[in-house]
Structure 1
Amino acid sequence: MNLFVYGTLKQGGKYHHYLKNAKRVLPDAMAKGTLYDTNLGYPAMTLEGKGKVRGEVYEVPEQLWPHIDELEDCTGSSDDLYKKVTIEVQSESGRQAVITYVAKDERLLHKQINSGNWDI
């Protein structure tokens, strides 16, 4: 399954190096949801709302997933900040089911980013 990234994992982002062995398959994709600034140097997405979140889609080799889960604080613990979900994104090439990380902890949701785009 491919990964939709919308923040620091995007090309040019401070954690993009986690995807150095992944292949970017969609440079511009949109997901339904709402994007928030966490005030921690990275964004958080929710699936609520009628907005759109802009991001990129990567084909991620299996061995990278544990490292990305750890980075995204999605380890299976009850106090994780994010949860991994399957969503649908839209791009020029159509719709595609992908995995992404969404906010699990509402304390992350400080300021809504109306543009739906996390500027790196």
Structure 2
Amino acid sequence: MKLFVYGSLKRGGKYHCYLDEATLIAEHAVAKGVLYDSGLGYPAIVLSGSDDIIGEIYDIPDELWPALDDLEGYTGGAETDLFDKSVTAVEVAGEEVEAVIYVAKDKSLLNSIISDGVWDESQTLFV
């Protein structure tokens, strides 16, 4: 299953090590939505907007999903989950690819909009 990453899981991100066993499918992918700085050292996304969100796509082996879900605060339905998993269309080199994306469930993560759609950890105060 493919995963679109747009924050701390990207190459160079503090949690990219979680993807050591994953295969990079696309270095440049674009999802539609709104990207937010959570103020906590990682971004959050909602799919209800139309901004370009820049990220990467990885093929994730089944055995990695539990660790990723734990990192993202996703249990599969608890009211206290930080993120939900959604499948969305992502553009890669002019082609549409379906990928899983972790989207904000906890609305307190939607601190300030990142208008250019690119998460850069070096700009955050809480890394």
Deviations 1:53-84 (A, max 9, x none): 10000000000000000000011222101000
Root-mean-square deviation (CA, aligned residues, Å) is 0.8
Displacement after TM superposition at 1:97 (Å): 0.4
Residue type at the aligned position of 2:59: E
Q: Does 1:87 align with 2:85?
A: no
Displacement after TM superposition at 1:49 (Å): 1.5
Residue number in structure 2 paired with 1:6: 6
Matched ranges for 1:1-120 at <5 A: 1-76=1-76, 77-92=78-93, 94-120=95-121
Residue type at the aligned position of 1:85: S
Rounded Cα–Cα distance in structure 1 between residues aligned with 2:117 and 2:44: 11
Rounded Cα–Cα distance in structure 1 between residues aligned with 2:62 and 2:12: 23
Large movers: runs of 4+ above 3 Å:
none
Displacement after TM superposition at 1:93 (Å): 5.3
Secondary structure of the 1:49 match is strand
Rounded Cα–Cα distance in structure 2 between residues aligned with 1:85 and 1:46: 10
TM-score normalised per structure 2: 0.92
Rounded Cα–Cα distance in structure 2 between residues aligned with 1:57 and 1:117: 15
Displacement after TM superposition at 1:50 (Å): 1.6
Which segments of 5 or more consecutive residues in structure 1 lack a partner in the other structure? none
Which segments of 5 or more consecutive residues in structure 2 lack a partner in the other structure? 122-127
